[in-house]
Structure 1
Amino acid sequence: MTTTETSIFDAVESNVRGYCRSWPTVFDTASGSWLHDEGGRDYLDFFAGAGSLNYGHNNPVLKQALIDYISRDGITHGLDMSTVAKRGLLETFQRTILTPRDLDYKVQFPGPTGANAVEAALKLARKVTGRTEIINFTNAFHGMSLGALSVTGNAAKRAGAGVPLVHTTSMPYDGYLGDSDGLDWMERVLDDSSSGQDNPAAVIVETVQGEGGVNIARPEWLRRLAELCADRGILLIVDDVQMGCGRTGPFFSFEAAGITPDIVTLSKSISGYGLPMALVLMKRELDVWAPGEHNGTFRGNNPAFITATAALEHFWSDDTLQTATQVKGERARRALSGLAAAYDGLSTRGRGMVQGLVFDDASQAGKVTQVAFEHGLLVETSGAEDEVVKLLPPLTITGAELDHGLEILASAVDAVCAEKVN
């Protein structure tokens, strides 16, 4: 990319920008699993807006619903007013998602980001219980606002808060202590009156830690965590912002464990189209908010309600997408396992359509993503040391596109790892 093409970004935009440094081009259009830059180059997308584009870019079904709504002058900004668009979403969400899963959740529209949903969930848990402490887990990521940062593990992100992040305690995530179950420690601390741990309002957990390095919680671990919380009157919050909306296969990532969280946060792909939108789901008895007690100017993004409704109707009226996601996820897992078998210092982990290739030498992961970009593939790193190449393709990616991307990734790994061997 030329200096002229980037000069306005360098001159005017804040240094805080990040992804553009890894992918130095100016994108112009996108469709399905592909982005296209202004120079006409094509890039296959294994990033999907950090999980915000599960149904791909400009999905034609969702796009048409949005165009039709805008063309008839449908409400765009509605705060928490009742609108036709919101009614359609609530009815469809109840019919396609809640009722088939026997979930009796109330739905809250907080601000439009995942961090907004997390802030609301933490605030609600403290209001319901009258307690202040929250338990989170090692390697967790829940957002960049202060409350969300307080339950996030990454030291560099936490340091950006500029103030002490208090009233939270980090516990070992599944696998953090190797073969030892960290829940043994958590249970001991909670039940020991001399441990120094105050009784918490809630525990917040990701069933798969995406930003933390594609760390997977076993179903049995999640079930024990849910039981531990229920037995002690602690609310269980599942952060499904990145792993919900089908990323692991089922609509909710916790379905495989057979648990029912007290509170669930959703954002990213819940709008279906990459439009800002977030939900907090809470068990009916937990809806103790006073009117207006938690609000936000952009909690009523009606165009996002329209695309979300279209996505639910099109993709979640049966199990076709879920089955396809699991099949394609296994396809990706096998490909990564082959790479891990070919080179020392590589391993894999993942579930559904979130898969990770883990490098013992963390510097190699970044090199692989750079080489992949040069060959037309967008893929990012995650983990405490950015040691994991994380695959988040659109769930709607075709088999041929998936194979093509995996081939580019394999070539990038070969280039980087073979260079080290030589």
Structure 2
Amino acid sequence: MTITQPDLSVFETLESEVRSYCRGWPTVFDRAQGSKMYDEDGHEYLDFFAGAGSLNYGHNNPVLKRALIDYLERDGVVHGLDMSTTAKRAFLETFQETILRPRDLPYKVMFPGPTGTNAVESALKLARKVKGRESIVSFTNAFHGMSLGSLAVTGNAFKRAGAGIPLVHGTPMPFDNYLDGQTPDFIWFERLLADSGSGLNQPAAVIVETVQGEGGINVARAEWLRQLADVCKRWDMLLIVDDIQMGCGRTGGFFSFEEAGIVPDIVTVSKSISGYGLPMSLCLFKPELDIWEPGEHNGTFRGNNPAFVTAAAALSAYWADGEMEKQTLARGEQVEQALRAIRAEHPEATREYRGRGLVWGLEMTTPDHASKIARRAFDLGLLVETSGPESEVVKLLPALTISPDELDEGLRILARAIRETV
């Protein structure tokens, strides 16, 4: 692909140095539809990034766009804080009928604010309020958000350092297979809990991702998650599942914990819950935990009514018949086969591939190879990002609605980028 040098002057002179994605993809995007994005010069890119998991149904999904346009054209309420609106009612009813009741999940629904870290902060606050304790246990290589409470349970040293103050009341434990199977699961955790001299304050809760996205696509086994749920029950700790990136069907089922057969006490959801990339997040919790005082946790933008509209449309269109889960798992097998072939072709350059549904990672033996592969993929018309503590993993996060042909095309581009890079 021949790309003329874009005019980036206003971004470079006026926008903060904190910007990141635009450095790896140095072009100016203009429009997007489905699994494709187009820059202002008309160059086409296959999107295996999907708004960091916020666009599970693709860009400008026509079903969701129609619902949104109709709502706006009739002057539907856009900003409503936590007032009752027809849009919120439609979402809550659809969410209950399509998602919660079929799974026999009893959750109350809280709208904590527009982003994932808002949901995590509310989950941590609620757990501490319910249990009357401060300590929260998280896991190695976890990522839960960029606000202070979320950073305290995040593992990445670079992101934690940005806080500028001590991050307290969080204790990390080894994630599944962190010790390469050399130590029985949870033996260290339970030893600390049992020993009054360990220095571990009795935790209020444990927060976990079933698949660590930013941490390098580390996949927790179903049996490990079941053991974790059992540890939490026996030691009187709440179990919080952070489903912000892996929920809304990313791993197959609507919730990523469904495969393990567990029912977390609290679940955080964001990113693709609106379906359209509109800011929205949920904190779900068992009814007996709903001890909030009115207004005790609030936020100006917790009532994003356009997001309620697209969220309800997404649930009705894609989650009423069970076909989305089957399609996602089938597409996942397609990705796995391609990564298996790449691994066989480059046994010395690649360490392993791992994933579930339509989230996959290819770990490189040399960390900077992943970034070089992502840059070469961009030159060839494919958007992929990296993850892991040293950005050593090429991360694949295509839309759940991607066609088999588009998926094949992107995987061929990825294979070529790897071949030409390593």
Structure 2: stretches of 5+ with no match in the other structure: none
SS at match of 1:5: coil
Paired position in structure 2 for 1:208: 211
Structure 1: stretches of 5+ with no match in the other structure: 418-422
Paired position in structure 2 for 1:34: 36
- From 372, 375, 388, the equivalent of 2:393 is 388
Measured in 2, the distance between the counterparts of 1:244 and 1:17 equals 26
Paired position in structure 2 for 1:139: 141
Counterparts of residues 107-126 of structure 1 (less than 5 Å) = 107-126=109-128
Letter in 2 for 1:295: N
Letter in 2 for 1:214: I
2:112–2:282 Cα contact (<8 Å) kept: yes
Deviations 1:262-315 (A, max 9, x none): 000000000000000000000000000000000000000000000000000000
Paired position in structure 1 for 2:337: 334
Residue 177 (structure 1) shift: 0.4
2:185–2:224 Cα contact (<8 Å) kept: no
For the pair 1:353 / 2:358, whether they are aligned, the reply is: yes
Paired position in structure 1 for 2:230: 227
Q: Which deviates the most, 253-262 or 344-353?
A: 344-353
Measured in 2, the distance between the counterparts of 1:5 and 1:182 equals 53
Letter in 2 for 1:318: D
Paired position in structure 2 for 1:189: 192
Paired position in structure 2 for 1:259: 262
2:60–2:276 Cα contact (<8 Å) kept: yes
4+ residue runs of structure 1 moved beyond 4 angstroms? 1-4
Paired position in structure 2 for 1:20: 22
Measured in 1, the distance between the counterparts of 2:24 and 2:12 equals 15
User: Normalising by structure 1, what TM-score?
Assistant: 0.98
Measured in 2, the distance between the counterparts of 1:171 and 1:280 equals 24
Measured in 2, the distance between the counterparts of 1:242 and 1:75 equals 28
Measured in 1, the distance between the counterparts of 2:336 and 2:197 equals 45
Paired position in structure 2 for 1:368: 373
Counterparts of residues 76-87 of structure 1 (less than 5 Å) = 76-87=78-89
Measured in 1, the distance between the counterparts of 2:224 and 2:270 equals 25
Paired position in structure 2 for 1:105: 107
Letter in 1 for 2:368: S
Q: Matched residue pairs, number?
A: 417
SS at match of 1:142: coil
Paired position in structure 2 for 1:151: 153
Q: Which deviates the most, 282-291 or 182-191?
A: 182-191
Residue 323 (structure 1) shift: 0.2
- From 279, 282, 286, the equivalent of 2:282 is 279
Deviations 1:350-396 (A, max 9, x none): 11100111101111111110110000000000000100000000000
Measured in 1, the distance between the counterparts of 2:185 and 2:366 equals 26
Deviations 1:73-128 (A, max 9, x none): 00000000000000000000000000000000000001110000000000000000
SS at match of 1:158: helix
SS at match of 1:178: coil
How large is the Cα RMSD of the aligned pairs? 0.9
Q: Which deviates the most, 400-409 or 328-337?
A: 328-337
- From 308, 318, 328, the equivalent of 2:321 is 318
2:353–2:363 Cα contact (<8 Å) kept: yes
Residue 181 (structure 1) shift: 3.3
Measured in 2, the distance between the counterparts of 1:400 and 1:176 equals 36
Letter in 2 for 1:290: E
1:174–1:181 Cα contact (<8 Å) kept: no
Measured in 2, the distance between the counterparts of 1:52 and 1:239 equals 15
Measured in 2, the distance between the counterparts of 1:164 and 1:194 equals 23
Residue 345 (structure 1) shift: 3.5
Measured in 1, the distance between the counterparts of 2:288 and 2:121 equals 19
For the pair 1:289 / 2:326, whether they are aligned, the reply is: no
Paired position in structure 2 for 1:420: none
Letter in 1 for 2:106: D
Letter in 2 for 1:146: L
Letter in 1 for 2:377: A
Q: Given the superposition, is the C-alpha separation of residues 367 and 3 from structure 1 closer, same or farther in structure 2, using an over 3 Å criterion? A: closer
SS at match of 1:100: helix
User: Normalising by structure 2, what TM-score?
Assistant: 0.98
Identical positions, percent: 66
Deviations 1:314-336 (A, max 9, x none): 00001111000000001101101
Measured in 2, the distance between the counterparts of 1:181 and 1:415 equals 41
SS at match of 2:37: strand
Residue 22 (structure 1) shift: 0.1
Residue 184 (structure 1) shift: 1.2
- From 399, 406, 409, the equivalent of 2:414 is 409
1:34–1:44 Cα contact (<8 Å) kept: yes
Residue 187 (structure 1) shift: 1.1
